[in-house]
Structure 1
Amino acid sequence: MAYATIADLVPAYVDPEPADAELLLTRASRLVDGALLTAVYPVDEDGLPTETAHVTALKEATCEQVAAWLEAGETGTGATAEYRDVQIGSVRLARGGRGSETGAGGGGSAAARLAPQALLILQQAQLTGHEPYTYQACEAADG
């Protein structure tokens, strides 16, 4: 289930609407979920946040992720490399694109990590940076 709708995405973050907007929102929501693995926040029976600030943060982070992917030519699949060939003065950087080999030092696709704006939104909502923890369930008192 996506944290944002097409109406949330268009035109506030992108315009025109991408043909695969629904799929991009779903994929971006999965990536946002990955950033929330140790987050603790109240949810409903479907696992969706109940506090307005969290609902807003997840929606905005999802939209920012889709916007970043579209800017980079990414589809959320990981098939697009971060860059193929970049030259700044005498420095030339190249990473494999589709159908080419990436070396061990390759950074992979933009789909593999959360976009900076999406991460900032989650951080500001205090949904990231938590350590994993365990707990023991309380036993019901016999009465």
Structure 2
Amino acid sequence: MPDVGDVVTAQLVVAPYDGTTSASLAVTAPDGTVSSPVASTADGGQTWTAPLTYTAAGVWLLRWTVTGTGASVENQQVAVAPTPGAGQTGRVYATTTDLANYLRAAPPLDASGLLLAASKMLDTRVLFLCRYDVDDDGMPTDPDVAAAIGRAVCAQVAWWDEVGDSTGAAGVGYGSVAIGSVNLGRSVTSVSGDDSAARQIAPQVMDELRSPDLHDKLVIGAVAVPW
């Protein structure tokens, strides 16, 4: 799958073809903008190519129109992914380097998104109960607190890796499913993604927030975090 910014060569092979064959390309971007890259052939009309730059994420439509011998219209849809890490908003308490050091292994390619998701999860489920000094962006100002929260976020990502799920999809059950003549069924004890292991706070998270070097720098409610 191409990413935003990729420069590619769109290609169409025509059969049959001869000297009367001609092809043109119309490209519709995800926002509906239509452009017409110049198509050319180097083998007498069999293979047509056109330069194309994907400038936005989404589904692009490539519409080739062939006239003369081999006349036809060919449509191709191309899904374009965002630039990795682009478009992510919100506080993120750990970097991919922090995660690699925490895991003692190379982080997953989607590490940036996982760290953002873990930061949001801890913000809404744990950190909103905590009291610590922050800057105007809501980031911890004390280096010990920042490091502890960073480790807690990494612990949550590591937990997701252990359970093999980061969204809670594994917690959604099904009653019965028919595929052709095959029927599958199981007892449903949970139909909510919130019940899955992925939606649980990793045990190591609270261990990191109880780090001895925090002392009175981080408080949960009105009570200091116990050591």
TM-score w.r.t. length of structure 1: 0.68
2:106 is equivalent to residue 20 of structure 1: no
Aligned counterpart, 1:30:
120
Aligned match for 2:152, one of 57, 61, 85: 61
d(CA) in 2 for partners of 1:128 and 1:67? 25
2:207 is equivalent to residue 117 of structure 1: no
d(CA) in 1 for partners of 2:200 and 2:220? 16
Once the two structures are superposed, residues 6-49 of structure 1 have per-residue CA deviations (whole angstroms, 9 ceiling, x without a partner) of: 11111431533212111110111112212011211110010100
SS at match of 1:4: coil
d(CA) in 1 for partners of 2:190 and 2:107? 36
SS at match of 2:131: coil
SS at match of 2:130: coil
Specify the code of the residue in structure 1 equivalent to 2:117: R
Greater percentage in helix:
1
d(CA) in 2 for partners of 1:108 and 1:36? 21
Query: Contact between 2:174 and 2:191, CA under 8 Å: does it hold in 1?
Result: no
d(CA) in 2 for partners of 1:128 and 1:74? 30
Query: Contact between 1:65 and 1:114, CA under 8 Å: does it hold in 2?
Result: yes
What are structure 2's unaligned runs of at least 5 residues? Answer: 1-90, 176-187, 223-227
Q: 1:80 to 1:128 in 2, by over 3 A?
A: farther
Query: Contact between 1:122 and 1:128, CA under 8 Å: does it hold in 2?
Result: no
Q: 1:11 to 1:104 in 2, by over 3 A?
A: closer
**Percent identity for Structure 1 against Structure 2:** 37
Task: Choose between structure 1 and 2 for higher RCO, CA contacts under 8 A separated by at least 6 residues.
Answer: 1
Aligned residues: 115
Greater percentage in strand:
2
CA RMSD of aligned residues (A): 2.7
d(CA) in 2 for partners of 1:113 and 1:41? 23
Aligned match for 2:135, one of 44, 54, 62: 44
Once the two structures are superposed, residues 41-100 of structure 1 have per-residue CA deviations (whole angstroms, 9 ceiling, x without a partner) of: 11001010001111011100011110111011012x11123xxxxxxxxxxxxxxxx552
Q: 1:128 to 1:111 in 2, by over 3 A?
A: farther
SS at match of 2:107: coil
d(CA) in 2 for partners of 1:24 and 1:128? 26
Aligned match for 2:189, one of 86, 103, 115: 103
Specify the code of the residue in structure 2 equivalent to 1:100: Y
Q: 1:18 to 1:104 in 2, by over 3 A?
A: closer
